[in-house]
Structure 1
Amino acid sequence: MKTRNAKIVLAISIVLSSPNLYAAGFQLSEHSAAGLGRANAGEAAIADGASVVAHNAAAITMFQSYELSVGASYIMPEVRVTGNGESDSFNNLLTNNDVVDNVIVPSFYIAAPINDSWSWGLGIFTDFGLATEYPDDYLAGPIGGETSLESVIFNPAIAYRINDNFSVGGGGSVVYGQATLTRTLGILADAINAENGTNFKRSDIAKSLDGDGWGYGFNLGALWEINKDHRFGVSYRSRVNVEFEGDFYSDLPSSIALPGEKATGDLTLNLPSITEFSGFHQITTPLAIHYSVMMTGWDVFEEIRATVDGQEVLQKDENFENSFKYALGATYQLNPSFTLRAGIAYDETPNVNDQSISLPDSDRINYSVGATYAFNRNSRIDFGFTFIDAEEVTFTEPLEPNVLPDVNIAYRSEGDAYVYGIQYKHSF
């Protein structure tokens, strides 16, 4: 019996040393319904609502009165993962047609002038989120399970108008995050049972970390108003290191925690910087075009590492790369009450080195349409819709690089998403 327990502890210590967590690879851009309807083209320069706080604090100097904006986006992903090996029966065991959950992303903004030179604003929104889930008894449980990240940014901002053409601004970013990582034994339960005569189930928890934490950063921006019809905006949002603390748990006995016991775990998640350049041009009285180039500094996301009482329990190299998003849009003032908009964007994935079923990600094209209805001069409502068409990708992923170093599983992932947004704006 002691020999069996020793083998189990050894197997567990190996399993716990190799996590897969891709929480930071899922960026959200649903800051406003108006922005959603133009594929987020021109967001750092347009300033047609207080939601510009999320993109360029300097642009709040364009408001002549209080601006309030409250909205939400509903994201409906349709992401499918299947096996891509030679055996159809084995591929079917790896199929999951509902990998990513639907989610509502709310937002709140307010901005106002202080005097002729100074303005202030506040935004409550998110830049990053993820939710992928596989069945409890999924065959590839060691790399499936559940991976989720929820974050909210509290962003106070202030701006200064230098003259009629130039404004600068900045603010602080206070980020609160909740994260869950759960990996089940999957097929490893069969291997451990065969080796040790135990009775583990595929749905048993190999490792689970559930916690929350805070991180802090800053953002800077500048706006150049060439004239009333043409302007450029540039902004920088710093990286944020969110320090998580939570409960570590496993159904397997180890030197970290016995089955049924929880230990306090610590994990630092590096959220990347965002740099954005935008242009806005009123071509004719009803028609404007706008564009943006955004770079997200994913190269800070090099690894995931968690500890319990200073002892490493989760570690994996990630090696993400910086990614770019290119967006082009147009706005058409149909009449005093109705404004129409549309846009298209190409969005690169940062996850080009280590694709994983915990974050089935790829390059994508966003197709967007939207509209605004103005009730009067002070009240209006925005609607936006984006269809996200992601490329199909194939990749291989080790089932457990330390326990089963020669077992690489071939996968194919494909999917798209439908995003609906609504937002109410009021000037007073």
Structure 2
Amino acid sequence: EFSLFYPAHIYFTAETVSWLHVGIGYNNPFGLGTYWPEDWDGRFTAYQTYIETHFIQPVLAFDVAELVGMDERYALSFAVGGYYVYGKATINSKLDASALYFDPADPEPVADMKLEGDGHGGGFHFSLFAAVKDWVSFGASFRSAVTMDFEGTAEFSAPESTWGTLMRGLGLLPASTPGSTSIELPWNMNFGIAFHGVPRFTFAFDAYAALWQSYDQLQVHFDCESLDPPNNCGGELNAAAIYPKKWNTGVQLSFGVEYRPIDAIAIRTGYGYVTDPSNPEYYDGMLHDGNRHLVTFGLGYRAPDLFKVDLGYMLALWSGTKDNDVGTTAAPFTNGQANGEYETITHIVALTLGFSFDLDGMTPPPTLDGPLPGGGEI
């Protein structure tokens, strides 16, 4: 189903001395979700899944080239920092109760589960930048894994039918119960190189890797024993809430070109390819991934020493194949595995505004960008 998401970012940097900058940033790099019709074949895995993460990242950046007097010809700097992460997750699914009860007059014994929770975590990051000015630049960044322990509440509902009454009477389907799960966001790293030797052009190549081996399984625990009075729902519900994943490393390779017809305007385009980190044996429709083709376009405008505006668009074409035993095939839900081809189209529009300020009134504000490759400065 069609859905809208609103990822955001904001960054602030300040110079303390000529070779040391401090900064803080906010963004949400891991997120988005999947919304299926409530009656789709894979509803017993999930029909609605949503996860969002919010990163707050303080950082210190050291200009080594400035410190040792090499900055006229070369650039060399590194940065270190940490981050605090807040996340929210939602999993809505149907529960197949046909193994517990079947009534020909009530052919689809289905309950509904809605699990919502939030969690916190932390990690660290470091990065490196080096350049031979007006010719080539290189950057690399590394971000640690983050363990997110989510806690929340699961709500259950069932039709007012014979089997629904039976489930509630046996204590197998409480109105709500505490629930928890843990997700480890992966170690990830970026490497990029850009060539500036052609006047008014920049050619860039980027490689990104996320070590998703940490996503071995998604297991939801329902704490029915904490209810008042204690409930015996935990055995059946917890046994059904284990989702093997066994993901692998995901890789993205990207290439881009920037052209500046005049010093103040930049025109950009690019292409990227992303490999699917999910394991075909456990592929499902909960948050189905897939190989992706990325096509991007962008425009930028710079007003010298004042502000900059960047507008970007990315088209992402996802595709994956499910051909495994994940899901139910028990009667009457014989198509519950939802095997087949999965395709997703994502449109991402980004707007970034940047401003430069002289806070002490004693020195001119820094330029928003370095020298323009091939001549000129903005």
TM exceeding 0.5: yes
Answering whether residue 203 of structure 2 is matched by residue 289 of structure 1, we say: yes
1:359 corresponds to which of 287, 291, 296:
287
Query: 2: CA distance between counterparts of 1:316 and 1:368?
Result: 34
Deviations 1:34-91 (A, max 9, x none): xxxxxxxxxxxxxxxxxxxxxxxxxxxxxxxxxxxxxxxxxxxxxxxxxxxxxxxxxx
Give secondary structure in 2 for the equivalent of 1:299.
helix
2:243 corresponds to which of 307, 312, 316:
316
> Where does the alignment leave 5 or more consecutive residues of structure 2 unmatched?
159-166, 226-233, 358-378
2:345 corresponds to which of 416, 419, 424:
416
Structure 1 residue 387: deviation in Å? Answer: 1.4
Q: Which has the higher helix share?
A: 1
Contact 2:258 2:266 in 1 (8 A): yes
**Higher Cα radius of gyration:** 2
Query: 1: CA distance between counterparts of 2:126 and 2:168?
Result: 47
> Where does the alignment leave 5 or more consecutive residues of structure 1 unmatched?
1-97
Counterpart of 1:7 in structure 2 is: none
Give me the TM-score of the superposition, normalised by structure 1.
0.69
1:230 corresponds to which of 108, 124, 136:
136
Structure 1 residue 339: deviation in Å? Answer: 0.9
Structure 1 residue 368: deviation in Å? Answer: 0.9
Query: 2: CA distance between counterparts of 1:126 and 1:402?
Result: 39
Counterpart of 1:68 in structure 2 is: none
2:120 corresponds to which of 210, 214, 224:
214
Counterpart of 1:426 in structure 2 is: 355
1:87-98 matched pairs, under 5 angstroms: 98=1
Counterpart of 2:258 in structure 1 is: 331
Q: How many residues align?
A: 326
Counterpart of 2:25 in structure 1 is: 123
Structure 1 residue 216: deviation in Å? Answer: 0.7
Q: Which is bigger in relative contact order (C-alpha 8 A, separation at least 6)? A: 1
Query: 1: CA distance between counterparts of 2:248 and 2:347?
Result: 26
Query: 2: CA distance between counterparts of 1:130 and 1:256?
Result: 37
Structure 1 residue 169: deviation in Å? Answer: 0.9
Write the letter of the residue equivalent to 1:251: S
The 3 A distance-change label for structure 1 pair 234 and 194 is same
Give the aligned CA root-mean-square deviation in angstroms: 2.8
Contact 1:385 1:420 in 2 (8 A): yes
Structure 1 residue 191: deviation in Å? Answer: 6.7
1:385 corresponds to which of 298, 306, 313:
313
Q: Percent identity at matched positions?
A: 20
Query: 2: CA distance between counterparts of 1:166 and 1:376?
Result: 24
Structure 1 residue 250: deviation in Å? Answer: 2.4
Contact 2:190 2:208 in 1 (8 A): yes
Structure 1 residue 107: deviation in Å? Answer: 1.2
The 3 A distance-change label for structure 1 pair 308 and 201 is closer
2:191 corresponds to which of 259, 272, 277:
277
